[in-house]
Amino acid sequence: MKVPLVDIKKQYLNIKDEIWNEINEVFETTSFINGFKTKEFEKEFGNYLSTEQNRISTIGCGNGTDALILALKALKVGYNDEVLVPSHTFFATVEAILLLGAIPKFIDIDEESMLINPKLIEKSITTKTKALIIVHLYGRPCNMDLILPITKKFNLRLIEDCAQAQGAKWKNKYVGSFGDIGCFSFFPGKNLGAYGDAGLVASSNIELIKEIRLLANHGRKEKFLHNFIGQNSRLDSIQAAVLNVKLRYLDFWNSRRCWAASFYRKLLKDLDVKLPNFSSDCEHVWHQFVIRLNNRDEIYTVMNKKGINVGIHYPIPCHLQPALKFLNYKKGDFPVTEKVCSEILSMPICPEITEEKIHFVVANLNKLMSRCIFT
Ligand SMILES: *Cc1c(COP(=O)(O)O)cnc(C)c1O
């Protein structure tokens, strides 16, 4: 039996007819850029994130990396400004900061949650610190009760990288609706994924939304009048059509992921691995189910050889990436991040995974670790 890390094909086959109906409308109207499908998705996703007290507006854009760039630009982060960010994230979070000439200041993670450690934020703030980017990594919301008072006290702009956490909640409120701006990626493998590149920014601040609308479309209000230097980053109508269909399934799919996570937890509990902890303050959406173990590299290689696609998100922390050598970080600077990166293993998880497959994955892992859990 083969077990993919995520089964995009199986999901597609389940919703194929609906997808093609929506896409067909785009072709029939030849409304390919900023068309009605894009408007519809922006509205629906805004409604999804909103509460009675907190109305969220959204702007679709080209991808999740662009969403971060647009957010930083709209918040006027630029040359030599410092932006606080965890080193344990996908590289794009940091890339966005550097592309604007700003400087990423890394913060270590908390070992239990594997997310930015709120206790370490305050001491990293300087007079040059302009913003904080938090990452709801693996689908798990950061502790907003600890983070919001800090951004408020120091007047820091807050960006939420929600690329892995569509539909996740901190105390009944969706991530992406806490900070100044929430940034989403709809890369195909995410919990809500398009069939190509796509992204979105979300905010309750109408002024920021207006600004981002212009920034994402060459800084223009009218066709030939450019008020400032923007960029071309728009949500393609075809991708928006796909997302319109898939958004209707997001909560159901996330509940399937939660079921899979609980099932993994049950089967893995007697193995010599560290399981991700479940917090009652948040609704985790399990973009990844990440365990920790000592002989990770060996297990990773053998499992993949057997056709069980396990992953590592991520093996090299951002502060140790060759591209960031000029920032002069070194091994040992963020000990928790470095330790975690050497031990983590992402198990196959997606809404379509079955009980049989999870049994198979765990049985193989167990065999490899040469202990028996089914006694
Ligand atoms: C996927 C991802 C991004 C980038 O999104 P793209 O759409 O691929 O540009 C940014 N941050 C995190 C944490 C991600 O997982």
In order, the DSSP letters of 228-280 are: S---B---BHHHHHHHHHHHTTHHHHHHHHHHHHHHHHHHHTTSSSBPPPPPT
Beta strands in 136-198 (DSSP E): 157-161, 169-170, 173-174, 181-185
pLDDT band at 374, cuts 50/70/90?
very low
- At residue 375, the pLDDT reads 36
Task: Indicate if ligand 1 lies below 6 Å from the C-beta of 75.
Answer: no
Average pLDDT over residues 315-338: 98
DSSP 24: H
User: Which has the closest alpha carbon to 191: 334, 357, 351?
Assistant: 351
For the chain, give the mean pLDDT: 96
- At residue 280, the pLDDT reads 85
Task: Indicate if ligand 1 lies below 6 Å from the C-beta of 185.
Answer: yes
Distance of alpha carbon 213 from alpha carbon 142, whole angstroms: 28
185 CA → ligand 1 middle, Å: 6
Angle value at C-alpha 261, between 256 and 262, nearest 5 degrees: 100
- At residue 279, the pLDDT reads 83
Structure tokens at 109: 């993670």
- At residue 69, the pLDDT reads 98
Helices vs. strands in the chain: H and E counts, helices first: 11, 14
Task: Indicate if ligand 1 lies below 6 Å from the C-beta of 92.
Answer: yes
Measured from the Cα of 68, ligand 1's closest atom is 10
Average pLDDT over residues 148-160: 98
Task: Indicate if ligand 1 lies below 6 Å from the C-beta of 199.
Answer: yes
307 CA → ligand 1 middle, Å: 26
Q: Is the dihedral of CA 32, 34, 35, 38 positive or negative?
A: positive
- At residue 281, the pLDDT reads 84
- At residue 282, the pLDDT reads 87
User: What pairing do the DSSP bridges indicate for beta strands 199-203 and 181-185?
Assistant: antiparallel
Distance of alpha carbon 215 from alpha carbon 220, whole angstroms: 8
Structure tokens at 181: 């701006």
Which residue carries 């994230």 as its tokens?
Answer: 89
Task: Indicate if ligand 1 lies below 6 Å from the C-beta of 346.
Answer: no
Q: What is the CA radius of gyration of the chain?
A: 21
Structure tokens at 36: 């009605």
Task: Indicate if ligand 1 lies below 6 Å from the C-beta of 67.
Answer: no
Cβ atoms 320, 329 nearer than 8 A: yes
Task: Indicate if ligand 1 lies below 6 Å from the C-beta of 163.
Answer: yes
pLDDT band at 362, cuts 50/70/90?
very high
Per-residue pLDDT reduced to its tens digit, 277-297: 888 888 999 999 999 999 999
Task: Indicate if ligand 1 lies below 6 Å from the C-beta of 135.
Answer: yes
DSSP 322: G
Task: Indicate if ligand 1 lies below 6 Å from the C-beta of 93.
Answer: yes
Distance of alpha carbon 253 from alpha carbon 336, whole angstroms: 32
Q: Is 335 left (phi over 0), alpha (psi -120 to 50) or beta?
A: alpha
Cβ atoms 360, 3 nearer than 8 A: yes
With a CB cutoff of 8 Å and minimum separation 6, the contacts of 147 are 116, 118, 121, 132, 134, 158
Q: In this prediction, what percent of the chain has a pLDDT beyond 70? A: 99
Residue 373 has pLDDT above 60, yes or no: no
- At residue 124, the pLDDT reads 98
Average pLDDT over residues 97-124: 98
If one compares 227 and 72, the residue with the highest pLDDT of the two is 72
Residue 372 has pLDDT above 60, yes or no: no
pTM equals: 0.97
Give nearest CA residue, ligand 1 atom 1: 163
Measured from the Cα of 164, ligand 1's closest atom is 15
User: What pairing do the DSSP bridges indicate for beta strands 82-86 and 103-107?
Assistant: parallel
Per-residue pLDDT reduced to its tens digit, 77-91: 999 999 999 999 999
User: What pairing do the DSSP bridges indicate for beta strands 157-161 and 181-185?
Assistant: parallel
- At residue 278, the pLDDT reads 83
